[in-house]
Amino acid sequence: MTIDIDWVRAQFPAFSQPSLKGQAFFENAGGSYTCQPVIDRLTRFYTERKVQPYGTFEASRLGGEEMDEARRRMAAILGVETDELSFGPSTTQNTYVLAQAFGQMMKPGEAIIVTNQDHEANSGPWRRLAERGIEVREWQINPETGKLEIEKLEALLDERVRLVCFPHCSNVVGEINPVVEITAAAHAAGAFVCVDGVSYAPHGFADVGHMGPDIYLFSAYKTYGPHQGLMVIRRALGELLPNQGHYFNGGTLYKRFTPAGPDHAQVAACAGMADYVDAFAAHHNTDTRGVHGVMRDHETQLLQHMLDALRGRNDLRILGPTEAARRAPTVALDLGRAAKPVAQELAKHGIMTAGDDFYAVRALEAMGVDPAKGVLRLSFTHYTTRAEIDQALSALDAVL
């Protein structure tokens, strides 16, 4: 099934804004455009339901119901039970809370494994457990390829390891890590698994229940939704970890790791992401899992075209694989010089992109890139067109 790109773009009001006309968007890994159903739900919540939810009067009841609907439908898409999904302010805050919980549960001398491929959100909070006597082992990437090699993980695993943290794909290397295989290796050694799905989720919601990790995190503002962090915590782990919420809420799984009061409107509006997935499926005559495939096929075609063109240049280094099938369309380029001024030049050609370290400082350093210079990152999604890719490539010709 081929993507109906006109239909897709009609679901995103940004594409019809006069102020954005002619601007090709290549900073999607920083935050995507928002789909119409999410905007509609946010507007409705703020105009009709902006009261304390779960109360006795109609507006309150509807607000609470919509929040429950968001959790129920997104959990179904992710292949987990409704109460195994919780919402927090951001992925970084979610990992921070989870790290507190692990810190309280673990004993000195026990170990965790983190990578140097991750965004700092799935790295720093865990590494701080060293202050509590937890041994922190680093699963290091191959400095040439940026790859996380599973043999290196196996050498780090033993009976002292309680947790393995890694990304579904890194926001600068882009390579899709084999979550099922890594999870199986960690589980076989008796460790739990925490996957940062932030960079992968915009390209298709994973069947987390099937893949097996104990924790799977992503950020809705990068998956066409509002500014929320979504966090799957499978029941066995969620009930084992000490409650981080109010003591009287500890019996409700989805309240145990979100200590702050939730952003009601944004949680409710997350149901709009499910509306989008359902509408996408219906329009393309497929089901939820099929949506992932249709998006991926389109992205992979455009990505291979982009990678082939970039590969022909001798003034840059592509981080991560150059075969589209192995990676996400989040392409970081080492220019050997400061990337931000190049992004500024590209903006004059209607290319919205960024030059930065993207909080993946450890990955850049490991690959020999000076984080102060950063990388130029071209990131796109299923709503991007071939014409926009060509616009970006021509702009690079002009600017580099």
Ligand X SMILES: Cc1ncc(COP(=O)(O)O)c(C=O)c1O
Residue 139, CA distances (Å) to 12, 92, 118, 369, 386 in order: 39, 20, 10, 19, 37
Q: Are 210 and 289 in contact (CB under 8 A)?
A: no
Q: Which of residues 136-155 bind ligand X (CB under 6 A)?
A: none
Taking CB under 6 A as the binding criterion, the range among 117-125, 233-241, 295-303, 336-344 that sits at the site for ligand X is 117-125
User: Would you count residue 121 as binding ligand X (CB under 6 A)?
Assistant: yes
Pick the stretch among 59-67, 84-92, 157-165, 372-380 that binds ligand X (CB under 6 A): 84-92
Window of 13-21, 87-95, 252-260, 316-324 that interacts with ligand X by CB under 6 A: 87-95
DSSP string covering 209-237: HHH--SEEEEEGGGTTS-S-EEEEE-HHH
CA proximity to 49, closest of 262, 268, 275: 268
The least distance separating ligand X from the CB of residue 219, rounded to whole angstroms, comes to: 4
Angle at 331 between CA 292 and CA 142, to 5 degrees: 100
Separation of first and last alpha carbons in the chain = 37
> Please, which residue, 122 or 183, has the CB nearer to ligand X?
122
The residues, ordered by sequence, that sit 6+ positions from 32 with a Cβ below 8 Å of its Cβ are 202, 221, 222, 223, 224, 381
Q: Are 229 and 91 in contact (CB under 8 A)?
A: yes
Q: Does 32 bind ligand X (CB under 6 A)?
A: no
Does residue 91 belong to the site contacting ligand X (CB under 6 A)? yes
Binding residues with ligand X: total (CB under 6 A) = 13
Q: Which stretch binds ligand X (CB under 6 A): 115-123, 204-212, 320-328, 388-396?
A: 115-123
Distance CA 280, CA 287 (A): 9
Write the binding mask 47 to 66 for ligand X: x where contact by CB under 6 A, - elsewhere. --------------------
Q: Which positions from 197 through 256 interact with ligand X, judged by CB under 6 A?
A: 198-199, 219, 229
Report how far residue 233's alpha carbon sits from residue 215's, in angstroms, rounded to the nearest whole number.
5
CA 11 from centre of chain:
21
Taking CB under 6 A as the rule, does residue 379 contact ligand X?
no
Amino acid at 95: T
Name the one range near ligand X by CB under 6 A: 1-9, 58-66, 196-204, 335-343.
196-204
Shortest Cβ 96–ligand X spacing (Å): 9
Q: Check residue 356 for interaction with ligand X (CB under 6 A).
A: no
Q: Does 92 interact with ligand X (rule: CB under 6 A)?
A: yes
User: Binding residues for ligand X, per CB under 6 A?
Assistant: 90-92, 119, 121-122, 167, 171, 196, 198-199, 219, 229
